Structure 1
């Protein structure tokens, strides 16, 4: 999540009317040809901000929305239309990070109202459990059995909770980025207890950044916690133990501009969503390469997060959420509907 929202939605409808969509797809024939082809899985109405996503074991996508506090399920095959899994109270501004612990048990961040500086103006930030084991649709896509939704904790000390990842699915530990304060919380989803577990300088935003958001996306790989930083163009990691505590110093893995969330492919390459510059880049061996989108294209307008498929048929397919350019309109004026997009990464 980037930039501020107060002025975005007030001006969005004005921006939508007059401008043509810019796109520049290029076919990929082998790993040496870029940009990668971006396909649209589903495009929502204008002013839709898709913020984050997780892939269920059955291949369906769970998508958090920031323009409204709802969680949606999207079928990447489009066999049925997207459905609302959970509609949270209007006391929340929207939803952000999502992570799975045990099979089909997900946790989501619900944001309290906040101002242009990402400071809470009322209420409290909460984390909810969404049990999808009870969720079912009929053949026409109508809900026949609802997901079970319960509040886990109100995290009153947090500034702006954002990205989230699972530390230990059995013990019920998840890590959550507080982007405004530049720290990471550990939450015990079984007890609701939480604490700041990592506070590192590389998690802070720079004083001259256009956003007051630092640490954003979180992922754990090979006993390291990795994170993107929206207000400092660095992609970092730090060694951690089983409790999420740092066991050494942090280090910069690569330079990445305007990073929102990110995801690792099985081979260890990191795929970085660059919301503010409408781009997707790959980090490999410390080198950052632009692979799709650009600041002048609506192909990945406001790309916010990514997740790889979990079926044998789509394990190399990267699914992406976008906000249509609501954070930073393309060419300063163009806003399109938020999307669920996909990229076949097997060619790269």
Structure 2
């Protein structure tokens, strides 16, 4: 989710400073960006997940809609479910094969307003999607009466059904058991909290070696990590991996480095988790094709495992607004 950072970025432009992390850039590339599906203006995408068959599930933050998109250039799109009683969809994560979990809640871009207590997590069983007569493929898992802005989702343990949830306004990371609905605050660190008003912890994902929870903090403009116990609790203090970067959500490449949506700079970057150096893979400040990227996911088919799919927010409320969308970036040996 980008809005608070976008406001900060606009202020920095007025001051004459476009990117605060320029000194950390070790190199730049111009990987090819291709449109998979572009939505009309006013439709802003927030998150996405890639199915084992290659299809893409995309959440919309301006409406409570979940879409299914084929991974082909200029693909068609299917609206598979609208969540009544909510205004927005946010994070999405797969736990078991074709078993997805999605956050629904009430968030408004007008004034960057979130309704505390409006957030819920739903189970979306894509195995039942084509067989609606058998059972409903969407069911509620849990409500969060004290949740301020549930945002990013990350898998901790498939077998136990444990999922991390970023509560961005509260500045904490919650842990949800998707099989029981039980949940609690698992991580509350200075680095998960916003430094001032705005989004704190945003994207949350467990490292490939399962030793750390990596997270972004939009307000602090950092990527950080905290050592974790298998039960989800922190076993040490969080530390900054990279700083002064316009962060949203991310994923890991085959070497354990972070591929990150640098949203207000309209770029996709690669961060070396040992040095904090940033390599810009695609995009630029004046790019409209990559305007406000929010999430990055690798393909899962043989032909796209070196490609990432990116959700585009599209720049809500700006004169240069474009519609949200899903894009593909072929990285080759860069990832």
Normalised-by-shorter TM-score class: 0.7 to 0.9
Aligned-residue offset at 1:295 = 2.2
> Contact 1:85 / 1:147 at 8 angstroms: preserved in 2?
no
1:22 aligns with: none
Residue 183 (structure 2) aligns with: 194
1:339 counterpart = 2:333: no
- Are the equivalent residues in 2 in contact too, given 1:96–1:109 (CA < 8 A)? yes
Aligned counterpart in structure 1 of residue 151 of structure 2, from 162, 173, 177: 162
Match of 1:99 among 56, 80, 93: 93
The Cα of 1:280 is off from its aligned counterpart by 1.5
What is the aligned length? 309
For residues 172 and 76 of structure 2, the distance between their equivalents in structure 1, rounded to whole angstroms, comes to 38
Question: Once the two structures are superposed, what CA deviation does each residue of 1:98-138 show, in whole Å capped at 9, x if it has no partner?
Answer: 111111000000012457254416x621000000011239x
Does structure 1 residue 297 correspond to structure 2 residue 264? no
Counterparts of 1:265 and 1:236, CA distance in 2: 17
Structure 1 residues 200 and 118: alpha-carbon distance in aligned structure 2, compared to 1, 3 A threshold: farther
TM-score (norm 1): 0.83
More displaced 10-residue stretch of structure 1: 192-201 or 145-154:
145-154
CA distance in 2, matches of 1:85, 1:241: 37
1:11-90 alignment runs, 5 A limit: 34-77=29-72, 81-89=76-84
Deviations along 1:202-229, one digit per CA (max 9) or x if unpaired, are 112222xxx6101100110121000011
1:216 to 182, 199, 202: 202
User: What is the CA-CA distance between 1:146 and the residue it aligns to?
Assistant: 8.2
Question: For each residue in 1:54-99, what CA deviation from the matched residue of structure 2 results, as whole angstroms up to 9, or x when unmatched?
Answer: 011111000011110011110012596211121101x212100011
2:233 counterpart of 1:239: no
For structure 2, the 5+ residue unaligned runs are 8-26
Alignment check: 8 A CA contact 1:136 1:146 kept: no
What CA deviation, in whole Å up to 9, does each residue of 1:136-175 have, x standing for no partner?
39xxxxx998860000011011110000011111111111
Query: Are the aligned partners of 2:203 and 2:250 in contact in 1 as well (CA < 8 Å)?
Result: yes
Per-residue deviation, 1:299 = 2.2
Question: Following the alignment from structure 2 to structure 1, what is the Cα–Cα distance between the partners of residues 243 and 237?
Answer: 18
RMSD: 2.3
- The residue that corresponds to 2:246 in the other structure is 258
The C-alpha deviation readout for 1:288-337, integer Å capped at 9, x for no partner, is 1222222222120011101001111111110000021227x4xxx20111
| Structure 1 spans left out of the alignment, 5+ residues | 8-31, 138-142
Is the CA contact 1:118–1:180 (under 8 Å) kept in the aligned structure 2? no
What's the counterpart of residue 270 of structure 1? Answer: 258
- Is the contact made by 2:202 and 2:248 (CA closer than 8 Å) also made in structure 1? yes
After superposition, what is the alpha-carbon deviation per residue over 1:260-281, rounded to whole angstroms, capped at 9, x for unaligned?
1111111212111122222221
Go from structure 1 to structure 2 and tell me whether the alpha carbon gap of 1:320 and 1:79 turns closer, same or farther (over 3 Å shift): closer
1:133 aligns with one of 127, 133, 137: 127
**Distance in structure 2 (CA, Å) of the matches to 1:296 and 1:196:** 39
